[in-house]
């Protein structure tokens, strides 16, 4: 399937987002098993940050289990979009596009970078607020051009990940594959 264009619509942080994530994590765990590593990522995972009202969920598995896991998620109402242009993950979303799954190899560079960015914004209110302002500006400029909205955030995200990794905050050590990683 190909990604359909959609309007960039930001809303203020919703206190219900963590509970929505936890309910979905329970459903995913029932299908994927307790060995699946499941994390809430994206802007809805950062308290106080405005976001598109979409719960992004990172699922980490051994490489050999990813294809089977993607197939197992389809009966839950998810649709698969392959990599959707981002190497290192399989992308799925529910029919309402209120939940996005990013299935990747546990502890891969994709895995570590998403958690590093989330954790940096959770710990750094100044960068969280700068990111919110960038998102506001980009959503006004590219409201109907989601790819441009997304690419406009890339440099900021890369700088936050680098800062996270060089300040000793990092829980997920970098690998040799950092060069050329598509964020």
Dihedral sign for Cα 84, 131, 43, 165, please: positive
Question: Residue-wise pLDDT tens for the chain (183 aa)?
Answer: 444 556 889 999 999 999 999 999 999 999 999 889 999 999 999 999 999 999 999 999 999 999 999 999 999 999 999 999 999 999 999 998 899 999 999 999 999 999 999 999 999 999 999 999 999 999 999 989 888 999 999 999 999 998 887 775 555 444 333 333 333
Please give the helix or strand (H or E) that residue 90 lies within, else none: strand 90-94
Contact call for residues 55 and 100 (beta carbons, < 8 A): yes
Token reading at 142: 């590219």
Reported pTM: 0.86
């Amino acid at each position: 399937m190909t990604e359909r264009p959609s309007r960039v619509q930001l809303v203020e942080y919703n206190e219900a987002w963590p509970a929505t994530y936890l309910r979905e994590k329970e459903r995913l765990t029932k299908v994927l098993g307790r060995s699946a590593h499941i994390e809430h990522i994206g802007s809805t995972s950062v308290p106080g940050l405005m976001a598109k009202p979409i719960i992004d969920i990172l699922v980490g598995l051994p490489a050999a289990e990813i294809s089977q896991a993607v197939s197992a998620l389809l009966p839950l109402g998810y649709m698969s979009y392959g990599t959707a242009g981002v190497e290192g993950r399989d992308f799925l979303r529910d029919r309402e596009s209120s939940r996005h799954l990013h299935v990747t190899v546990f502890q891969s560079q994709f895995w570590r970078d998403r958690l590093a960015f989330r954790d940096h914004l959770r710990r750094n209110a100044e960068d969280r607020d700068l990111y919110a302002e960038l998102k506001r500006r980009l959503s006004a400029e590219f409201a109907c051009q989601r790819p441009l909205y997304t690419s406009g955030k890339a440099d900021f995200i890369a700088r936050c990940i680098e800062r996270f990794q060089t300040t000793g905050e990092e829980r997920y050590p970098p690998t040799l594959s950092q060069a050329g990683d598509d964020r």
